[in-house]
Structures are given as C-alpha cells and as structure tokens.
Chains A and B, each alone.
Chain A
Amino acid sequence: ELKVEQNPLFLSMQEGKNYTIYCNYSTTSDRLYWYRQDPGKSLESLFVLLSNGAVKQEGRLMASLDTKARLSTLHITAAVHDLSATYFCAVDLRGGSEKLVFGKGTKLTVNP
C-alpha cells in the first residue's frame, strides 16, 4: 500500500525566509504532483515531476524529485505573504493503476 508523508504539516515563516517542504512515499513511483489549495477553494496544479532528477521552478517555488530516495521537495525562496496556502504532494502508482495518493498537506503561513 502506497503511503505518502509530508512534513512539516504546519509551517509558519517570516517573509523573506527560505524553507523546504518534504514529501516521502513508500513504494516505487516516477510521477509526483504538487498542488496548492487556498482556504475554501479547489486545488491548483503547481508542478508535475515525471522522472528521477526532475526539477521545476515557478517564481519562488522549486520542486524536485528523487525516485531512488522516494523523496520530493518543494523549496520556497524568499517567502511572501501570497504564498500562504496549503500545499499537497500526490504520488501516482507505477503501472498505470491510475490512483493518486495524496499527502495530508502542509499548511504554510507567511507572516509579514
């Protein structure tokens, strides 16, 4: 059974600081997604990581995937208040099972 663990679950940081959210998963997969969710809203796709060593960047967010370590990271650079949201990683089981398994989410609060 695939398990996806995110940490930390809650993160409070100051504007201008850097931090990393970690996503560990328990079985082999080469496809991982990051999503953002604002309170009361739906999920917005941030990144799709499709292979070992994949790195993608958008603005102050950068995501990477290490399939051998079964680890993805979401790095936040020089945080701003607008990045306050809950961030989810989700892992696709290899073999076309078509089942996304989500982590519990990391609630990020960026304080002025």
Chain B
Amino acid sequence: NAGVTQTPKFQVLKTGQSMTLQCAQDMNHEYMSWYRQDPGMGLRLIHYSVGAGITDQGEVPNGYNVSRSTTEDFPLRLLSAAPSQTSVYFCASREDRLAGDLPLPTDTQYFGPGTRLTVL
C-alpha cells in the first residue's frame, strides 16, 4: 500500500491563479479530508468527504472547492489563489463504519506527506 499520496510536494502560485492539489489513497477508506497547517495554528479542516459523491465544509472552506467522484481520489481546488492561502496542505483518510445514519470512525486518520503552497 502506498497509503495517502499528495502531489505536488511544492507549488508557487501568483495571486489569482488557480490550481488543484491532488490526493489519493489506496486503502479503500471512505472518509477523506483536507487540512491546512499554519505556524502556531495547528491543523484546520477545510473540507471533508464521507464517501464518493458526498462532501461537506470544515472550519475554513472559503476559497476552496472539492469533489469526490471516486473512493480513491479527493482533489482540492483553489479557484483564485490569495496570499492568505500560503500554507502547508495535508490530505488524510480514515476508515469509517456506518451505524444507522451516522458514520462512526473506527480508526485513526492517515496523513499524506503534505503540499507546501506559496502564493505571491
């Protein structure tokens, strides 16, 4: 298993440019999420998905879009990059077990290696 993979590792954008951060996992996990990490701020949840075709907003979703067309892939799109989006981005996946209508996490999250994004 490759686990959770992210590309690119580094990226520099100019303000207003758009790009997609790629994330893939080969563990057949239903739950995937995107976080950003800024100095002194811990990690903050941007968007998450509990399965293919289902996405929802996290704590800091503005300026980002996601889609989940397959279980394996969960790309994060920056529509019009801003300097405030300079950060390190981590993708994570986790196995979930459904109980009624509520998914229950049964395992920890596995994090990808991260993408370091700079917006000038």
Point out residues on A near B: beta carbons under 8 Å.
Answer: 4, 31, 33, 41-45, 48, 88, 90, 92, 95-96, 98-105
Contacts and interface: CB of A to CB of B under 8 A. Distances in A.
B8 to A, nearest CB: 15
Interface stretch (B16-24, B62-70, B71-79, B111-119): B111-119
A42 B113 contact: yes
A41 B59 CA distance: 23
Contact of B110 (A31, A45, A48, A90): A45
Contacts of B33: 98, 100
Interface in B64-116: 90, 96, 99, 102-105, 107-114
B30 to A, nearest CB: 10
A102 to B, nearest CB: 4
A104 B41 contact: yes
Interface residues of B, number: 29
Contact of A99 (B45, B108, B111): B45
B40 A104 contact: yes
Contact of A45 (B44, B59, B109): B109
A98 B108 CA distance: 12
A98 B42 contact: no
Given A42-B113, A42-B114, A45-B110, A96 B104 contact: yes
A68 to B, nearest CB: 21
Interface string B23-37: 000000001010100
A92 B109 CA distance: 11
26 contacts: A4-B42, A31-B105, A41-B113, A41-B114, A42-B113, A43-B90, A43-B111, A45-B109, A45-B110, A48-B107, A96-B99, A98-B48, A98-B50, A98-B56, A98-B105, A99-B45, A99-B58, A100-B33, A101-B59, A102-B35, A102-B42, A102-B44, A103-B42, A104-B40, A104-B42, A105-B42
